[in-house]
A and B are shown apart, each in its own frame.
Chain A
Amino acid sequence: MSGSPNLVALYTIVRREIARILRIWTQTLIPPAITVTLYFVIFGKLIGSRIGPIAGGFSYMQYIVPGLVMMNVITNSYGNISSSFFGAKFQRSVEEMLVSPMPNWVILLGYVLGAVARGLAVGLLALLIALFFTSLHVVHPLITFLSVLLGATIFSLAGFVNAMYAKKFDDVALVPTFVLTPLTYLGGVFYSISMLGEPWQTISRINPIVYMVNAFRYGVLGVSDVHVGASFVVMLVFVASLAAFALFLLKRGIGLRS
């Protein structure tokens, strides 16, 4: 690729990140595919067949497909960037970028695009697997795409911040275990939050994953627990705040420069 130096640098990072995803495909693509298949078989098929129609008259299997796809997108975007960037810190190969003339925003955007690429690839895989179990008709394709894109971006940025602060591998695993997984499971992946009583319904609305899952579900099925406009506002606010924070950390060199 030729063009402006920043574009070349951006392309280099994205290409390297995608090469990494493909090089270790048994760690990056296969496990999420197996996990989501198990979810579809156990929750969708075995248990779901005993549950009647849910919000909007959809079968339980159809209802959980958008949630499970989004869950995969979120966890894989986050996991990709946190392990890749922390790995670069750990091996000190991040210094290759830090001593180059590349601006901070290129480093951030390159890693985010790499992580979003993995999120989208895994999301697409999950969607394809879902078609073996149920039929789906995407109601709002643009909303579907934008919600998955923003969801992947938010958690890529969050994973980047995590990797910036992380000093050891445990620090990278800590947030997914104690924050990301509970938020995902309580984010309306397997149920409609309208099924919850108060105050849990209101408390659930603090969880940003509720907005992502519901925006995506609205795109695919046309039903949502929250207003789709509100979902996009929440997601855009998260993208802007996290990007600004990550750039601030890069400028200060937190965890990177002494």
Chain B
Amino acid sequence: MSTVPALVVDNLRKTYGNGVEALKGVSLTVEQGDFFALLGPNGAGKSTLIGILSSLVNSTSGDARIFGVSVNRQRNEAMKLIGLVPQEINFNQFEKPFDICVNEAGFYGIPRKIAAERAEKYLNELRLWDKARDQARMLSGGMKRRLMIARAMMNEPKLLILDEPTAGVDIEIRRSMWQFVSGINAAGTTVILTTHYLEEAEQLCRNIAIIDHGTIVENTSMKRLLAKLDVETFVLDVTHAPEQPPALPGVTVRRIDEHTLEAEMARSHDLNSLFAALSAQGVTVTSMRNKTNRLEELFVRLVENGRLGQERAA
């Protein structure tokens, strides 16, 4: 297997005509076969970066290489390797899903016969085949999102970029979309995902970059990033919550209501002492869960730290 990374972003900068500096020298690498999360708050520069990778936005300086092919110097060759699922619906609403997919393949130079076979395959896999001959504007929001994934698969890209593909999509459809994309990834396609649903990124992605104010503030593996989280808060459902929760060194236990306790502790702290103390008080724990999404906590912290750093520098 070739060792060429799926994507190398090299000191990419973008300043828009109105003076807004959307990217301030972004560099990152995505290895082949990765499921990579690109996260950041609104306006952080994610869509600008994706726009440059898909040639919809012209960079001010720097370059990106897709499987070693330069987006700046060999645009057409680079575009053959990419499939893009954009944030906004961007197909002709008056066309039929089948035609949208077949035409997309045509733009990539794929003969119509092969295109029709692929359209059937991907519309079926994304459970849209029964809508293939309806006008696209008649599809529901979730169907439109799935149609954009089917369309992006028409050139069977080596790198699939998904820009907030599940925005406004219900949980069932979201799960079916992730099942499909995970399958594509398992089959060898490199996937880059931006999303505001951080639990999705935590479950699906192996590596992550967090971008804020046009700068990468973190770029590491999901495991390493989550290991940085030193404090966790658990919600405990109990038979009856004592008025005076147990006092334990390194653990803060709060009574939320008569059946709920909250325990905040260092990640290194064991849970046995907490259970033992609760048992001693005659409290039975019926269930337990993490209070917040771990990635979400880290994300907020990293973005806030980045902003504080910028304010201090200013």
Contact = CB atoms under 8 A, between A and B. Distances in A.
A241 interface: no
A5 B114 CA distance: 13
B12 interface: no
Interface string A57-95: 000000000000000000000000000000110011101
A27 interface: no
A253 B59 CA distance: 12
Contacts of A4: 109
Interface in A85-108: 87-88, 91-93, 95-103
A99 B103 contact: no
A9 interface: yes
B55 A257 contact: yes
A238 to B, nearest CB: 29
B16 A258 contact: yes
Contact of B88 (A9, A13, A92, A97): A92
A99 B148 CA distance: 13
Contacts, number: 91
B56 interface: yes
Interface string A1-33: 111111011011101100100010000000000
Interface size, B (range): 35 or more
Interface in B282-300: none
A255 to B, nearest CB: 13
A3 B112 CA distance: 11
Contact of A101 (B58, B79, B103): B79
Interface string B132-161: 000000000000000000010001000000
B103 A258 contact: no
Interface string B164-189: 00000000000000000000000000
A5 B109 contact: yes
B58 A257 contact: yes
Given A88-B92, A93-B90, A258-B16, A100 B108 contact: yes
Nearest to B113: A2
Contact of B103 (A16, A23, A87): A16
B72 to A, nearest CB: 13
A8 B79 contact: no
Interface residues of A, number: 32
B110 A91 contact: no
Interface string B64-104: 00000000000111011010101011111110000110011
Contacts of B75: 101
Given A93-B91, A96-B103, A99-B82, A8 B110 contact: yes
B54 interface: yes
A100 B111 CA distance: 15
A257 B58 CA distance: 7
Considering residues B16, B54, B55, B99, which has the most beta carbons from chain A within 10 angstroms of its beta carbon?
Answer: B55
A99 B57 contact: no
A169 to B, nearest CB: 16
Nearest to A4: B109
Contacts of B106: 8-9, 11-13, 15
B54 A12 contact: no
A194 B94 CA distance: 48
Interface in B38-57: 51, 54-57
B65 to A, nearest CB: 16
Nearest to A11: B106
A10 to B, nearest CB: 9
A125 to B, nearest CB: 24
Considering residues B84, B107, B111, which has the most beta carbons from chain A within 10 angstroms of its beta carbon?
Answer: B107
Interface string B274-314: 00000000000000000000000000000000000000000
Contacts of B104: 96, 100
Contact of B56 (A5, A13, A93, A95): A95
Contact of B112 (A1, A92, A99, A253): A1
Contact of B109 (A8, A96, A258): A8
A98 B56 contact: yes
B90 A100 contact: no
A96 B91 CA distance: 7
A1 B92 contact: no
Given A1-B112, A98-B55, A257-B55, A12 B86 contact: no
Contacts of B86: 92, 95
B51 A258 contact: yes
22 contacts: A1-B111, A8-B106, A9-B108, A13-B106, A19-B99, A91-B90, A95-B56, A96-B103, A97-B107, A98-B55, A99-B54, A100-B79, A101-B75, A101-B76, A101-B77, A101-B108, A253-B58, A257-B55, A257-B56, A257-B58, A258-B56, A258-B57
Q: What 7 pairs between A and B have smallest CB-CB spacing?
A: A5-B109, A12-B106, A100-B107, A92-B90, A2-B111, A101-B76, A101-B79
